[in-house]
Structure 1
Amino acid sequence: MKALLPNRRGRFFGVTLLSAIAAGAMIGVPAIAAAAPADVAGSAASVTPVTTAESGASGADGGVDAASCVAGMSPHLVRLTGSDGDPVRNPVLLVHGWLSTAMPESEAGPRPVTTSTGIANSPFSRPVEWSSDGDPAVDLRSLQERLSELPDTTVFAFDYSSMAALWVGHTATAPALAGVIDCLAAESGDTVDIVAHSMGGLALRYALGGSNEGVASHVGQVITVATPNEGSQVASAVSILGDATQSLFSSASLLAQIAVPAIVGICNREMESDARVGCDIPPSVRTVFAVAGDGGQALRAGSAELSSVPEWPSSVKVHAIAGDYRIHVTAGLVPPEIFTALRDAAGVFGLDVRPALDEEIEAGDGIVEVSSATADADSSFIARCDVTVELTTTEGSATFGDLTERFGGIPPLAGPCAHDRLFENDDVARDIVATLGASRG
């Protein structure tokens, strides 16, 4: 598999972004980069893979018993439409991503999910808010609701949130996912359409590859959303930031050098035991900590784990969706009022005075670049969001403030093209439904 090395602009953007996030973590990134690798490896190695036959009930021929396998797949398989015992027809399976869940907020884990602690609730169940141009959406139904209204369709979710902090190639996640696909195909007599978010797309590649080649014959349309096929720019930036600040951290007090790695190590061990309950800290800091773990380190561009991810089987058609933030930043090297006066004066003589900085940043979805999200796909849909940040006038600053208020944060980590919020983009939800409809003729 081709490795994606972060370009200079992407690296600068990622380091700047992660510097802000990590500032509240006691300059803990160097400790993150070195936090207990032996423990991480040991945690992954202790997991016993589940084979397809073991993950569900077996029939007389050793295959999946369609009459009982759906109940036997609990808690991995969550039925989102209909009731237990209802026929399964044209199944659609939703697969969540890293540090996430397929459960609605009220069912996401033993602790309440809030804006300050815990993992995010299911991205598939969130109401749609915007279109890619930033305008409010007219249709506010979640993707889950829209899929449930497809004719003769049963919607399920595959939930691996208890293992969602670990690398999907080192756990029972992929074999369990393969078992779920086999089960739904046997139960329905149809192929299974799959929508996978972020690292869920990599879990699916593992489930369909290796020793599970036969599973691919049970798969219909695959749609990946923001899957880091060639790595994550943020995961790479954290490592770069860690290297850059290593010397600074080494000059800290002995207490800090001992305490910070210990805190990070404890937090990661909790998340690797169960990603739903580990570390009662704000999600942004929690994510930075998690980059030190098995899953986070594997998501760096060029990692050995990414290079070993199986190719998509030739029989499977993959449609990839990516978020594409284009952030146009302009700024002058003089105060805004002086720049405005100079520009107006130059205009009298027909001269066009431009700000000292006039740059467009290609930020992807803030976590994954477009080229990584669309790699190896047969077709793609790019949700592009153009944002202008004008720093040379007070009007421009007000525009930036308006974006923050509308999107609940600063792009590219917020708004309709952000990694964790793509399912709140009406254009994305419509494309998924249309793609599934087209694949069924």
Structure 2
Amino acid sequence: MALAPVISKDKDNTGAAVKIRSDPRGKYVPVVYIHGWTGSSVHNEAAKGAFSLKPDLLTSRIGTAAPTRTLIGNVQDLGGTAVFTFDYARYASRWVTDDNIGPALAKALNCLYERSGEKVIVVAHSMGGLATRQALALGGSALASKVSQVITFGTPNTGSIGAAVAGLGVDAAGLTSGAGLVFRLWLSYCGKLKSADQNSSDLLCSAFVPQQLLSFNSEAAVALRAGSQQLKQLAPWPSGLSVRALSGAAEVTVNGQGFFKQKVKTEAGVGDIVVDLGSAQSQATTKKQAPCAYEMDARTSINNGIKTEWLGIATKNEVSRSVVNLLTHPIPCYHGNLMRNMDLALEQLGFIADDVQLRTPATKLVTVRPWRDGSEAGPDRVVDGKALPESYCNGSNVAGRADAFRCFVDHGVYDPCLQNPAKATEYLCYFGLERILIQNVRPQAKVPSRTAPADQSSPFLVTLKDGTICRTSSGAGPPAIPGYPYWAGSCSGPHAGIWRARLADRGVNPTSGLVNEASSGTWLIAIEEDTKSGQATLHPVAVAYR
């Protein structure tokens, strides 16, 4: 397993190189990419790996898009992720029970969790998903609990009809199977039912018949056939694990002339042309698919069984396009192109982004540092103390910081006010979200009542997602209510009322006045609303300023 580097072709939205960065907790969520049977997970400047291509194919249309990042590059650009690749290409002809595949992957997943402390996200293509099933079976519930979710691209959970047809011949899929008919037409046209030779000059064969279907005698190929004994023995996905299946869903209508020149019209769902949709989505908890629709024209000869003498294909919604255009532009629903399918790539990115986001605190804790972070610029109001005797500042009762003061100017009281470290007569005060710059006041008459550093002080202002604003107050409050004996402040907006906090907590820690919902990373505030006298209700905090 290797850490995927940032490659030069991956650019952020400004055109600069993608930068790997931590999430707000300072952590990285490990994301592991695992290739399929004939692919590779290696991610480098050559950008030839299964996940190193840009998602430039548009579902059900001929043509390409122009993304600025590879599949892996998009995940690196999210922030808060560390992308790894697990490559077993040297052993890909073996089944997933081989020590270098399933067991090795189990060890890698366990190591990532132990080193990062974060549940691992797995992204697997084709047989890579089966390797993941084997790894999780070996690790049992202990390893499954260390994996957050598995995202699969075209994993043949119940096998591949295409592999069965390629390996067993004309009779493998049965005449009643529409998908089997389509597979046999392609394979017989290319003359590959019992040969591993490929006519590379035939664009149609190159586009539709994957090399893995032609190399049908390896251990892995035999195991991948639909209904194989190896697949029956493979353990299912662990109960409770989120498995997101991303699949190709091609529908093909075959217009042909069969034996004795009778007209034949067959409609078949062929999945991603290698793995049918049912197999790719088997056991999945979430199913997303990229639909494509094609029409095929075929003529067969009675003297040569079902050997196709002529085969043409076009997209249903763009039938005027020639077969050459279709072959020149890769097929977005095809098994080997699923990671290039823009719709599926975006689904994958969304699954990962949501996972990472859920691990970060939903409440944002902001340490205010005017004259250091520039927040003093452009105040909402400027108040001049004019150096009068009645204009002065002393220790704040609201913010427990060494640089926090309460200022008295022109019969007004402002609290908290943060002192300019370079000018003792200047303060930036906060009244809700309003910022007030006070100038020309006497230095403090008293020393600050608190000595805590800024990032360890209690919040003096919080906002809720619905627009409610709560600010601390130093005055006496109404009678106490059970559990919240202290009047911390007041709230205005949709939940107007009293901010309740425990007196014993005040000034003790950087989240005093807030209640931690550890399971979600969200901090809550207790509000006794004006319409619910005597009852405190917990509400999630969007931003807490301290």
TM-score by length of 2: 0.48
C-alpha deviation, 1:147, in angstroms:
1.0
1:196 paired with 2:112, answer: no
Q: Which amino acid aligns with 2:73?
A: E
Tell me if the contact between 1:328 and 1:389 (Cα under 8 Å) persists in the aligned partners: yes
Change (3 A) 1:191 1:407: farther
Other-structure match for 1:100? 39
Q: Which amino acid aligns with 2:325?
A: E
Change (3 A) 1:406 1:142: farther
1:382 paired with 2:289, answer: yes
Tell me if the contact between 1:389 and 1:400 (Cα under 8 Å) persists in the aligned partners: no
Q: Deviations over 1:221-266 (max 9, x none)?
A: 210110000001111112331779xxxxxxxxxxxxxxxxxx98xx
Give the distance between the partners of 2:238 and 2:154, measured in 1 at CA.
20
Q: Which runs of 5+ in 2 are unaligned?
A: 7-17, 173-194, 198-205, 300-311, 359-546
Give the distance between the partners of 1:302 and 1:396, measured in 2 at CA.
30
Give the distance between the partners of 1:391 and 1:237, measured in 2 at CA.
18
Deviates more, 1:164-173 or 1:371-380: 164-173
Give the distance between the partners of 2:3 and 2:20, measured in 1 at CA.
10
Deviates more, 1:205-214 or 1:187-196: 205-214
Give the distance between the partners of 1:313 and 1:167, measured in 2 at CA.
20
1:328 paired with 2:256, answer: no
Matches within 5 A, 1:118-137: 121-137=48-64
Comparing both structures, which one devotes a greater share of its residues to strand?
2
Other-structure match for 2:268? 361
Matches within 5 A, 1:23-38: none
Give the distance between the partners of 2:338 and 2:36, measured in 1 at CA.
12
C-alpha deviation, 1:172, in angstroms:
2.4
Other-structure match for 1:142? 70
Give the distance between the partners of 1:188 and 1:105, measured in 2 at CA.
23
Other-structure match for 1:32? none
Tell me if the contact between 1:178 and 1:207 (Cα under 8 Å) persists in the aligned partners: yes
Change (3 A) 1:88 1:139: farther
Deviates more, 1:132-141 or 1:290-299: 132-141
Other-structure match for 1:427? 343
Give the distance between the partners of 2:319 and 2:111, measured in 1 at CA.
51
Deviates more, 1:97-106 or 1:80-89: 80-89
C-alpha deviation, 1:126, in angstroms:
1.1
Matches within 5 A, 1:336-355: none
Q: Which amino acid aligns with 2:286?
A: S
Matches within 5 A, 1:309-328: 309-328=234-253
Other-structure match for 2:399? none
Q: 2:325 aligns with which of 389, 395, 405?
A: 405
Other-structure match for 1:436? 352
Give the distance between the partners of 1:241 and 1:332, measured in 2 at CA.
21
Tell me if the contact between 1:163 and 1:171 (Cα under 8 Å) persists in the aligned partners: no
C-alpha deviation, 1:133, in angstroms:
2.0
Tell me if the contact between 2:32 and 2:86 (Cα under 8 Å) persists in the aligned partners: yes
Q: Which amino acid aligns with 2:49?
A: S
Comparing both structures, which one devotes a greater share of its residues to helix?
1
Q: Deviations over 1:208-227 (max 9, x none)?
A: 01354321111012101100
Other-structure match for 2:2? 77
Other-structure match for 1:163? 91
Other-structure match for 2:167? 239
Other-structure match for 1:270? none
Secondary structure at the residue paired with 1:210? helix
Tell me if the contact between 2:215 and 2:221 (Cα under 8 Å) persists in the aligned partners: yes
Give the distance between the partners of 1:365 and 1:205, measured in 2 at CA.
21
Other-structure match for 1:302? 227
Give the distance between the partners of 2:266 and 2:274, measured in 1 at CA.
20
Other-structure match for 2:134? 206
Tell me if the contact between 2:313 and 2:323 (Cα under 8 Å) persists in the aligned partners: no
Q: Which amino acid aligns with 1:130?
A: L
Tell me if the contact between 1:78 and 1:158 (Cα under 8 Å) persists in the aligned partners: no
Percentage identity across paired residues of the two chains: 29
Q: Which amino acid aligns with 1:330?
A: N
Tell me if the contact between 1:96 and 1:198 (Cα under 8 Å) persists in the aligned partners: yes
Tell me if the contact between 2:245 and 2:280 (Cα under 8 Å) persists in the aligned partners: yes
Change (3 A) 1:130 1:407: farther
Secondary structure at the residue paired with 2:38? coil
Give the distance between the partners of 1:425 and 1:148, measured in 2 at CA.
18
Q: Which amino acid aligns with 1:383?
A: A
Q: Which amino acid aligns with 1:298?
A: A
TM-score by length of 1: 0.59
Give the distance between the partners of 1:143 and 1:227, measured in 2 at CA.
18
Tell me if the contact between 1:326 and 1:363 (Cα under 8 Å) persists in the aligned partners: yes
Change (3 A) 1:138 1:405: closer
Tell me if the contact between 2:162 and 2:213 (Cα under 8 Å) persists in the aligned partners: no
Other-structure match for 2:331? 415
C-alpha deviation, 1:78, in angstroms:
3.7
Other-structure match for 1:185? 113
Q: Deviations over 1:369-391 (max 9, x none)?
A: 00000001111001110123468
1:151 paired with 2:76, answer: no
Matches within 5 A, 1:44-63: none
Give the distance between the partners of 1:138 and 1:243, measured in 2 at CA.
40
Tell me if the contact between 1:78 and 1:159 (Cα under 8 Å) persists in the aligned partners: no
Tell me if the contact between 1:139 and 1:426 (Cα under 8 Å) persists in the aligned partners: no
Secondary structure at the residue paired with 1:381? strand
Give the distance between the partners of 1:285 and 1:150, measured in 2 at CA.
33
1:228 paired with 2:171, answer: no
C-alpha deviation, 1:332, in angstroms:
7.2
Secondary structure at the residue paired with 2:293? strand
Other-structure match for 2:13? none
Q: Which amino acid aligns with 1:424?
A: R
Q: Which amino acid aligns with 2:38?
A: L
Give the distance between the partners of 1:308 and 1:236, measured in 2 at CA.
18
C-alpha deviation, 1:323, in angstroms:
0.5
Tell me if the contact between 2:33 and 2:124 (Cα under 8 Å) persists in the aligned partners: yes
The alignment of Structure 1 onto Structure 2 pairs a total of residues equal to: 293
Tell me if the contact between 1:96 and 1:102 (Cα under 8 Å) persists in the aligned partners: yes
Deviates more, 1:229-238 or 1:200-209: 229-238
Choose 1 or 2 for highest CA Rg.
2
Secondary structure at the residue paired with 1:97? coil
Change (3 A) 1:243 1:330: closer
Q: Which runs of 5+ in 1 are unaligned?
A: 1-75, 109-120, 245-262, 268-281, 334-354
Give the distance between the partners of 2:327 and 2:75, measured in 1 at CA.
25
